[in-house]
Amino acid sequence: MISPTPNALAALREHGLDEEMIEVAVAIAEEIEAAAEDVANDTRTDSFDDSTSRGQLLYRRARNRTIVRFKPNLEVSCDTTDNALHIRFRGIAFCFYSAREGLEHPSVQGSATKRRVVDESQLMLETCDEAAVNRLVLMHESAPDGLVRLGIGVLANSTTWNWKIALYDRYAASDVAANDQDRLAYDQLPEAELPSLPPRKFEEAAGDEEIDRDEAAYDQLPEAELPPLPPRAPGEAERDNRE
């Protein structure tokens, strides 16, 4: 279940989204999360699944789930023109893509539909009116075991955000992390607590009695048995003396 943090909700409101718009965005995010979980359960390396096959399956399932989710809602329409999905609600069009290079590096380029999404975002930014938001993009990162991160925002161009808000982050430092500034870097995450291990023990060579390696004194350790040396050849000792 996707539960945006209070900071994330406040940031979305500052960018002109009201409660109903936020609900639509969260509903789409939940279907992406559910699709990612489905893919994690249904794919495996033994069946020769890779990141490409998982990504295609995730998109298709998220697309179909979203259409079914909003079918009873007459205020929300799902436009599947050109085999793409645009969820339209009160003048805003939502769409979603996979962030193959991470949320910080979106890549929405290639098809005519993606170019149109970027063009709409740029035209919207030219109005300089935050309340004029009409195109929002959701992007997600996933792993073989499910959804990792998901954000929503407005694109400045095909590879750069104008602004982005985190809706979900599996590794968020706390439940108040709403954006990348609030998210701890990897090297700042707390270290995992490892259980204490009992002291290792070893057996004496002469018997079965065990000695604690940490507590055994040096003079209590068994003597090492050295193999006998081979007999020296005749005349070898005299040659050593001469040298």
Q: Measure the CA angle with vertex 159, ends 156 and 160; round to 5°.
A: 40
- If one counts the domains in the chain, the total is 1
Per-residue confidence (pLDDT) for residue 48, from 0 to 100: 82
Whether 221 is covered by a domain: the verdict is no
Range of the domain at 133: 6-187
Per-residue confidence (pLDDT) for residue 43, from 0 to 100: 81
Give the contacts of 81 (CB within 8 A, at least 6 positions apart): none
CA atoms within 13 A on the CB side of 204: 14
Per-residue confidence (pLDDT) for residue 85, from 0 to 100: 93
Whether 48 is covered by a domain: the verdict is yes
The pTM is what?
Answer: 0.68
Whether 92 is covered by a domain: the verdict is yes
Q: Is residue 24 exposed (0-12), middle (13-18) or buried (19+ Cβ within 10 Å)?
A: buried
Which of 142, 131, 166 is closest to 53 using CA atoms? 142
Per-residue confidence (pLDDT) for residue 86, from 0 to 100: 94
Whether 93 is covered by a domain: the verdict is yes
Per-residue confidence (pLDDT) for residue 12, from 0 to 100: 95
CA–CA dist 93, 56 (Å, integer): 22
CA–CA dist 31, 69 (Å, integer): 8
Pairing of strands 135-143, 92-98: parallel
Whether 62 is covered by a domain: the verdict is yes
Q: Measure the CA angle with vertex 134, ends 130 and 138; round to 5°.
A: 100
**Could you list the pLDDT tens digit for every one of the 243 residues in the chain?**
899 999 999 999 999 999 999 999 999 999 999 999 999 988 877 778 888 888 899 999 999 999 999 999 999 999 998 778 999 999 899 999 999 889 999 988 777 788 888 877 777 666 555 556 789 999 999 988 999 999 999 999 889 999 999 999 998 864 444 444 444 444 554 555 555 666 655 444 444 445 454 555 556 666 767 777 777 666 655 555 555
Whether 232 is covered by a domain: the verdict is no
Whether 15 is covered by a domain: the verdict is yes
Whether 193 is covered by a domain: the verdict is no
